[in-house]
Chains A and B, each alone.
Chain A
């Protein structure tokens, strides 16, 4: 068995975090991406830029600000304490929040492109057939944008699995709560446990390759279906 018990814990926690993040992101990103795809105000450019920030910011910047903002003196920390959730750093909830922010563009951008590709026309047609906006959205726009949802889900999941800087900054490295695969690998390397580092890294490599391959095959298939 190349994986120790703590390695397996880290793998399990990582999968849990990535699943929860993906589910939350699909719920959050769908209306946001819809609005970004169709809004004609200057604000949509600003919001679009904010959503894209995690693509260019080093994760340590994100982690650092989350640590300060959600600490007892920060505005976020004051808020979560007032809501009775306590402080978020060093908890699974804190990691989840950080991952949602960190993976946001990976969910929003594919969805936005999919909605733009669908365009206004099908919705207008649905409206002439007396479908209410929500009805048309659920039964017309969503099915048409399906490839976008598949891409968004896969990318959010995979990107969260690969998260490192953010969890290093606000995680606290607690087994079963905040110690994920990437920080586990980092720990193995720093502790000179190169054998264990190799096994986990290789697993990560294979996983990432499979995800990207699956994505490529899926997009090719859907492209054929919609061609």
Chain B
């Protein structure tokens, strides 16, 4: 193929992509905000499709989808909500997959409070320990499981303060109102390292995996951009972004 033909076919391809460019509206779990913004930009560049993002809590998205919200793809903070939507016929059957697995971290905004093995939970030289509400947030449930496995759950229970989401648990620790807390690794990781304070990355075998599932919703069934986004989330380009933000795959 000579150069002219190569350029021509490139133009043709680009033209074809532009001709078929579509928009997809995506409901994204708040904890996945930063990586999803990057992924959406890369997705737009690679496919010409545009992803319109809404960030929020998975429970609220569920209620909205049930009541006719026009979201076409859901990136949930758990694996139960997408399964539930699929069982209820509100999502495309078989479109469910895990796009990221969260990692839990015990974090303090002050340096030197959290040691590299989580021993601080036993010595207990702190007044408050922030977690996300275990009933609402998978990170909160995982934190409770980990404390249980370590045998410190009962001793620490009176010191727990609960945020309604992992974002709020982070806020409690970041403002120093709770000296330490269980947050998502993705919240404290910048360029592959802990940005500030001290932290212990909780070993993954201390709690059930924090699977975050995505699903194509009924409203996105016939939208090529919705299926394209679902497959783009599984591409190497997307995976690299996801890993760089402290998630596993």
Contact = CB atoms under 8 A, between A and B. Distances in A.
Interface of A: 67-68, 70-73, 87, 89-90, 168, 170, 172-174, 183, 186-187, 189-192
18 contacts: A67-B172, A67-B175, A67-B177, A68-B175, A70-B177, A71-B175, A71-B177, A72-B177, A73-B176, A89-B172, A170-B177, A172-B128, A172-B161, A172-B178, A189-B59, A189-B60, A192-B62, A192-B63
B175 A190 contact: no
A191 B136 contact: yes
B165 to A, nearest CB: 9
Interface of B: 57, 59-60, 62-63, 128, 130, 133, 135-136, 160-164, 168, 171-172, 175-178
Contacts of A73: 175-176
Contact of B135 (A67, A70, A191): A191
Given A172-B162, A190-B60, 16 more contacts: A68-B175, A90-B161, A90-B178, A172-B130, A172-B161, A172-B172, A173-B133, A173-B161, A173-B162, A174-B160, A186-B164, A187-B135, A189-B60, A190-B57, A192-B59, A192-B63
Q: Which of A73, A87, A172, A174 has the most CB of B within 10 A?
A: A172
Contacts, number: 58
Contacts of A190: 57, 59-60, 136, 164
A183 B164 contact: yes
A160 B208 CA distance: 40
A191 B176 contact: no
Interface of B is mostly: mixed
A170 B163 CA distance: 9
A187 B164 contact: yes
Contacts of B60: 189-190
Contacts of A170: 177
Contacts of B135: 187, 191
Contacts of A168: 164, 168
Pick from A186, A187, A192 the residue with the most CB of B within 10 Å: A192
Contacts of B128: 90, 172
Given A90-B128, A173-B162, A67 B171 contact: yes
Which 9 pairs show the lowest CB-CB distances between chains A and B?
Answer: A172-B161, A190-B59, A173-B162, A72-B176, A71-B175, A71-B177, A89-B177, A90-B161, A190-B136
A202 to B, nearest CB: 17
A193 to B, nearest CB: 9
A31 to B, nearest CB: 32
A50 B29 CA distance: 37
A189 B59 CA distance: 7
A220 B163 CA distance: 44
A106 B242 CA distance: 48
A187 B59 CA distance: 9
A70 to B, nearest CB: 8
B63 A172 contact: no
